[in-house]
Each structure stands twice: as structure tokens, then as C-alpha cells.
Amino acid sequence: MLQMLKQNVKLLSMLGFALAISFGLAGGIGGGRRRAEDLPPLRTQGPVATVAPTSRVVKPAVDVAAAFTEVASTVTPGVVRIESEFVVDRPRRTPFGRRWRELGDSIAPLEFGSGTGFIVSKDGYIVTNNHVVEGADVIRVTLFDKRSAVAMLVGRDPTTDVALLKINGTDLPALTFGDSDNSEVGEWVLAIGNPGFQGGFGSANTLDFTVTSGIISAKGRPLRVLNSDDEAGSLAIEDFIQTDAVINPGNSGGPLVNLQGAVIGMNTAIATSNGVNQGYGFAVPSNLVQRVIHDLAEYGHVRRPLLGVTIDDVSQEDAEVFGLPEISGVRVDDFGQNSPARQAGMRRGDVIVSINGQKVERVGQLQRVVAQNKPGEFVDVGIVRYGVRHNIRVKLTEAELETRPAPARRGPAMGEGRLGIEVVELTRAQAERYGFAEPGGAMIRQIEPFSAAARKIEHGTEPYRILEINRTAIKSLRDAQRLLRQMKSGDIVSLVLQRPAGEIRIFNIRVP
């Protein structure tokens, strides 16, 4: 989990991660403000002309509006809601709610969070943010057509905040990646996500699948939201695309797309002073996302290539000392153990200005460009050493990062079939204890967390009397057990249940 830092940046899942950056300005630019009366008077040269609307003025706006609607209708079906559920040891207040799933005496608290993802292959691979699913016991994906399924965590990478999930499916509406390196500041983009706000498995969300528009405000933004004290944090890649498209909690993991409908980024964070969007949204570049998910799909973890250098951005003073033609590049301060850069001839004080001919201006960009290669490959590193340009060929090694997905925890197997319910006889003692009018028949006493039943049957501390199973009246525990044991995977079990107070509810549950 990402911890609280001293800035005001929000990662955008409904898990309530609050991090980051302060955007206040202490004063005006250039040493003070001029009073209005000091400004020279306006001078006009004749009457102000008015211009009547023409097709040349209106048509571009119409074209952009048509592009927005076309992209939104094409891309939105490939965007999914992601709900993560967590077991906690004890009840506690959280920013995203709490649910009670087991009934009777044994009550286990569960917490849930939600975010967004998007489909990247027709057979069910889905991309989202690492912070949306990190530590989750169960991850459920809901498609645009309201179908849902439990997802497998293929792998995750906290150094880029990228995670890859898998559900079983065919001919799913996969989105297409664009080239984030070719995106430009000022370019129109759409941010698509699922803020939700109500959250929880099976609940109706008030803001499903929202689309907002804006432009790319900047590229190569570092936020220091992924950094931590461990080795993975020191290798975090922060080279975000900034946008003013409205992004709010719950949008984490959603796509940022251009007007061709291609994904050029994955929405990840906002910079804010009050917890809501203020026009500073940030997305992981699509080229980096593609590199990460390729490794996650093939290996289950990221194979991170390494130069083996301790680096920092170049300052104005650095440029003067090291003989740089401009304030740009990445300063090499030190080397790691068995550093391939040092072995290739790099020295302290060298300034990296290019990788494979691509200009390097800042740390985040260098890390992203290097990460797009594979361990064992060679890269040509352009450096400036006290005013003299050199080229050094470096064979990249692999960083040792333990980011393989931990096995999900599971509760004890309970109940008949695979529904995850514990069915017992409704004795006279239990009827009196729980307030049923009369004994007899069968009762659901417990529901296994994360089971098929837990996702359908309303939570609470009261047990349920089973009145009917698949339109057959239940007169005894044996009746209930016999019918439930006949159920096969994919069948739908129709339960008519009664609370102690007499309220009757119908729950139709698909057997996993």
C-alpha cells in the first residue's frame, strides 16, 4: 500500500490512497503586482467589428464533437469496473466502507475498494493500476454489459503502478494502444473511467462509465508518489502525462485515449489541494504500460533492465560545471554494485544526454526509455564529460525485484455444492434464539467470504430460513442438501429465503 507523504496527490482508486504535491504560489511573477490605475488606457481604432458565425468557424467544433462521440461509443465497451475485496483482522474505520458477510456468531469484516481497468486482449487480459488491486483477496471485474467475473492477478509492478489481470472470455472488446511518445502537448484526449462512489459487489453505482475531455497539458511529470524507502521504490518510474481532463476517485486504471480512440496513457493520480479534481490529472504513458504488461503476461513479474547508476536531474549550476550546451540531461552521481554502466566506462560526473539516439532530458524519461529495453540487450548511452561528448555501449542487467503476486487468502470451505453456504437444521433452540416463528426445515447459518452466495445474499448478522430451492419447498435439512448437491458449475440456484422477522427475499445465484 502506498503510504501518506507530504504532498497532495491522490491515487484515484476508491481505496482512499492520499499522497502528494503542493501547488500553491507564494506571490506574483516579477516582483509584485501593478495596480489597475497604473495600466495605460485602452486605445481603440474605430468601432469594434462583430463577426457573424460562418461554416469555417463552426465546422471544426462540429468535427471535434463528432470525434468525441465516436471515440466514446467505441472505447467505452472496453472499459471495466474493478472491485477489490480485503479481509481485515478487526473492524476499523476506513475511507471506503466495511461489510459483514458471515452470519450468526462468526462475523468476519471485509473491506472493499474499486477502480477502473480496460481490456487489452479479446481473450480477457485487463490492465489496471497496481494500487487498485494490491493486497486484494478477491478481484472482481464487471464489464460494460454488466456481466461480471472473478479475475486472476497475473502480475503487478509497483515501480510503475501497473497490474495485469485475466478473466476467461472470448471476443471481448479490446482497446488498441497508441504511441505515447508521439502524443503532443495541446492534443485533445478523453479520460474514461468508472468512479462509482457507492462501491461494493453487486451494488448499483451512480457514476458508471464516465467520459471527460481535455488536452494533454504536459509530458514527463514526476510526482514522487511511487517512491518508497525500499529497493522497488528507488526504481520507481515517474514520467507521467499530465491532462486537464476531469479525473476523480475511482478512475484509477482507466484509459486516456486520443481522438483516434487509441490508448496513450493509463489514468493514475491527481494533484489537488482539496481531494477533488482541480485540472491536474496524470497518466502512465502507454508505451511503458505495454512494456510492463508484456513481461507480466510472459513471466508473471517485470524483468527490469538496469544501468546501475545513481542519478539526478541537471541544474543550471550543473550545466555550467559539466560544460553542457543546455540545462538538460541526467547527472551520474554514483554506481550500484556490479554496475554495467561503470563496467562499460562511465564515470561519476558524466551527464547522460541520450539513449539509442533519443534525447534524454530528465530522470523519469531516462528510466522510462531504459525500461522499454530488455535485460541483456545493449544500449548506446550518449554522455557529456566536462564538455566533451562520448558514446558508451552498455549491456543492461536485470534488477532483482520481488513483485510476483502473492497467493490470495481463502476462507474455509463451507456449505453444500460450491455456493459457499453452511446449511444446518433449524432446531427449536435455534428458532427461539434467532426469533423464527417455528422450528423445522433448513437454515443458512454462515456464508463464506468471497463465495458466490456472498456476492448475492444481503449482508447482516441474521441467519435465513430456506423456504424453497429451485421452486421446491424445503421441509428438512436433507431436502436442502439433496437439491444443492445436484447443482453443477454454471447452473443457477434460485433460493427463496426468509428472515426471522418474516421478510422473504429471492436470490438467484450461479454456481462457480
Residue type at 265 in one-letter notation: G
**Residue 508 is placed in which grid cell?**
438467484
Give the phi and the psi of residue 391 in degrees, each rounded to 5.
-125, 125
- DSSP symbols for 102-115: --TT---EEEEEEE
- The confidence score (pLDDT) of residue 65 equals 79
Q: At what angle do helices 363-371 and 286-299 cross, to 10 degrees?
A: 40
- The confidence score (pLDDT) of residue 459 equals 58
Q: How far apart are CA 448 and CA 68, in angstroms?
A: 45
Give the phi and the psi of residue 302 in degrees, each rounded to 5.
-90, 130
Q: How far apart are CA 9 and CA 19, in angstroms?
A: 4
Across-strand partners of 82? 115, 141
Q: pLDDT tens digits for 274-319? A: 666 667 888 999 999 998 999 899 888 888 888 999 888 998 999 9
Q: How far apart are CA 327 and CA 361, in angstroms?
A: 8
- The confidence score (pLDDT) of residue 336 equals 84
**Residue 43 is placed in which grid cell?**
486605445
Instruction: Name residues whose C-beta falls within 8 Å of residue 504's C-beta, 6 or more positions apart in sequence.
Output: 467, 496, 497, 498
Q: How far apart are CA 102 and CA 461, in angstroms?
A: 7
Going along the chain from its start, the domains and CATH numbers come out as 72-299 (2.40.10.120), 306-398 (2.30.42.10), 421-510 (2.30.42.10)
Segments of the chain scoring below 70 in pLDDT: 1-62, 87-111, 195-207, 223-234, 272-278, 401-417, 449-450, 458-461
End-to-end CA distance of the chain: 30
Q: How far apart are CA 122 and CA 120, in angstroms?
A: 7
Is the Cβ–Cβ distance between 194 and 207 less than 8 Å? yes
Residue type at 141 in one-letter notation: V
How far CA 243 is from CA of 43, 212, 279, 336, in Å, comes to: 38, 11, 7, 35
Is the Cβ–Cβ distance between 319 and 326 less than 8 Å? yes
Is the Cβ–Cβ distance between 258 and 189 less than 8 Å? yes
Q: How far apart are CA 366 and CA 288, in angstroms?
A: 12
- What is the length of the chain? 512
Is the Cβ–Cβ distance between 464 and 441 less than 8 Å? no
Task: Report, as residue numbers or ranges, the catalytic residues.
Answer: 131, 161, 252
**Residue 441 is placed in which grid cell?**
426445515
- The confidence score (pLDDT) of residue 17 equals 37
Q: How far apart are CA 143 and CA 253, in angstroms?
A: 14
Residue type at 282 in one-letter notation: F
Q: How far apart are CA 85 and CA 122, in angstroms?
A: 26
Give the phi and the psi of residue 433 in degrees, each rounded to 5.
-65, -45
Instruction: Name residues whose C-beta falls within 8 Å of residue 420's C-beta, 6 or more positions apart in sequence.
Output: 414, 447, 448, 450, 451, 452, 453, 454
Q: What is the sign of the dihedral through the CA atoms of 479, 485, 488 and 491?
A: positive
